[in-house]
Amino acid sequence: MAPRLWACFSRRSSNADVAHEKNVTADLTAEEQKRGGPVLVELFSSQGCATSPAAELVLSRLGRGDFQLEMPVVVLAYHVDYWDYQGWKDPYGSSQWTVRQKAYVEALGLDTIFTPQVVIQGKAQCMGNDENALITAINRAPRFPAPSFQATFKMTSPDSLQVSLTGPLRTKVDSNGANVMVALYEGGLVTDCPRGENKGRVLSNDYVVRKLEKLCTVKDVSAKKTISGTVNFSLWEGFNSSKCGVAIFVQSTSHQIFGSQNFQLPDEI
């Protein structure tokens, strides 16, 4: 998308915009919806955006449970790279996350790619620094049973982490199919920012996605069918398992989320 369509917003929106899918990939009864699992909240942010730090704070509070929601949440922060030209290169920024955000922008029928943006269950979006709109969107989000994966973690080398998963998705997937994705994220990050829009600030970031891999693609599987797979993550310098977690989520080809699950990594693997 052309640079002139990028935006870094500080104003607050009054409502979260919801995009409804025509083809639903999961079949749930009203009772299953009522006792559904976590809501996946994805923030698209940048250390080069002046208003992203406020959204990062909201995301950290959300993950800590400060808002006392009635449902659990799985939170992830993707740092995009399209603000890097403004004087500060985000150390966690990646073109991969920019591509992911653009896919949501298209799926949700938006005209502009911007930060900070939050996407909820792949179905709704709002400005990441608009706390009220975010809570409203989470409360309105469709919920699905969390997958019941058992996870095994293994360091196959000093710079490689293997994650093996097995268990049922607990949500039926039809012939349209869905991808089972695994995100490795890091928290407790602190950065001194000497340049750019946040010059002179000390920036704190949690739930920062460092790696994202596809476990498998599934089609025509029942909610009880056991799914198994393994992903391997190449690790970064300074990797500390005690600061990291793994999130698993099921995402349809039209980007809706049909269940998510979260694991903290053991302090020592």
The C-alpha atoms of residue 52 and residue 117 are separated, in whole angstroms, by: 9
| Cβ contact 12:133 at 8 Å | yes
> What domains can be seen in the chain, in order of their start residue?
150-185+209-264 (2.60.40.10)
Q: Are strands 6-8 and 113-115 parallel, antiparallel or unpaired?
A: parallel
pTM for this prediction: 0.89
Q: Which helix (H) or strand (E) holds 212?
A: strand 208-218
Per-residue model confidence (pLDDT) at position 14: 41
pLDDT tens-digit profile of 128-178?
A: 999 999 999 999 999 999 999 999 999 999 999 999 999 999 999 999 999
The C-alpha atoms of residue 81 and residue 83 are separated, in whole angstroms, by: 6
pLDDT tens-digit profile of 14-47?
A: 444 433 333 333 444 444 445 689 999 999 999 9
Angle (CA) 117-214-8 rounded to 5° is 15
User: Torsions phi, psi of 109, nearest 5?
Assistant: 70, 35
